[in-house]
Amino acid sequence: MAGDVTAQVREYFGRAAAGWGRWADAVERDDAARYIEASAVEAGDCVLEIGAGAGEQTLVLAEHVGPQGVVVATDLCPEMVDVAARRVTEAGFDNVEFVAGSVDVIELEEASFDACISGFTWEFLADPIGAAVRVKRLLTQRGRFAASTWAPLPGVPMRTIASTVILSELGLPPPAEPAGVDLADPREFERALSQAGFEDVTVTESPVVMRWATPDAYARWMREIAPHFDDLINAHDPNRTEQIWDAVAHAAADHLVDDGTVRMVNEAFLGAGARPG
């Protein structure tokens, strides 16, 4: 089962990587710096990043630890690693090492990292508690771990607007709730970190504000970073593909703000804890 989940996540984000790369600098978000505070990262630290994605947090970490520090950025998907590595190189940083693979199997030296951060990755793991145990062993004494998860879907318009419109247009039911550890519940998130052996565990609300230039930009972004939506449309009503995506853009217009951009506030949680010292 764990292998199936890993393969599905790898395939999903592998297909989406090109879209994430094209839109990496076109979508504003405000959460990257929070991991630094939550994990107490300092200049000169050695930091592990799990789930680097398109490199938003990687770039912030690379700047913060400075030339005397090191960031080891990992992602399950080689295609996403390529996107993040390109952005880091273009930004001129040479203090980042990239590794493709699952945190469960990547060979890393125990007690070698001052901090570990993971942005919106833990809910995709087959065994989040087991992975947190592995992270704890990789940290130095009192090293800190900070990870974020999305709140339940109704509070995350960035994710739900497109899916709600598309499923409604196709006459399909809403998706089933995910199985396994429900990290969208802050109590379960806190319990998972504590069960993994972290101390001083906290889980706090940490909303993520995201902004797109126009409603159409939101729809095009979602279409490119979530290609499974086109698969779904093509399987049920391929002749209405463009019409359905126009409906997604129309729904996104409900989030227009005074400057003409689309602004969405997405509920999320930031969990943190320290390895016992």
Residue 237 domain flag: no
2 vs 149, more confident:
149
Q: List, for residues 183-233, the tens digit of each pLDDT value.
A: 899 999 999 999 999 999 999 999 999 999 999 999 999 999 999 999 999
The Cα 185–Cα 188 span in angstroms is: 5
Residue 230 domain flag: no
Residue 31, classed as helix, strand or coil, is coil
Looking at residue 126, what is its pLDDT?
A: 83
Percentage of residues of the chain with pLDDT beyond 70: 97
Residues of the domain holding 110: 2-152+177-209+266-274
The Cα 206–Cα 30 span in angstroms is: 10
Residue 21 domain flag: yes
Residue 224 domain flag: no
Looking at residue 125, what is its pLDDT?
A: 86
Q: List, for residues 249-266, the tens digit of each pLDDT value.
A: 999 999 999 999 999 999
Count of domains forming the chain = 1
Residue 140 domain flag: yes
Confidence of residue 179 (pLDDT cuts 50, 70, 90): low
Entry pTM? 0.94
Number of Cα atoms under 13 Å in the Cβ half of residue 125? 27
What is the residue-averaged pLDDT of the chain?
Answer: 94
Residue 125 domain flag: yes
Residue 48 domain flag: yes
Looking at residue 1, what is its pLDDT?
A: 47
CATH code for the domain in which residue 39 is found: 3.40.50.150
Q: List, for residues 34-80, the tens digit of each pLDDT value.
A: 999 999 999 999 999 999 999 999 999 999 999 999 999 999 999 99
List the single range of 87-91, 119-123, 216-220 with lowest mean pLDDT. 119-123
Residue 256 domain flag: no
C-beta pairs of 152-161 under 8 Å, 24+ apart in sequence: 152/184, 152/185, 152/267, 155/266, 155/267, 156/266, 156/267, 156/268, 157/255, 157/264, 157/265, 157/266, 158/208, 158/210, 158/264, 158/266, 159/266, 161/218, 161/222, 161/248, 161/251, 161/252, 161/255, 161/264
Looking at residue 181, what is its pLDDT?
A: 58
Confidence of residue 104 (pLDDT cuts 50, 70, 90): confident
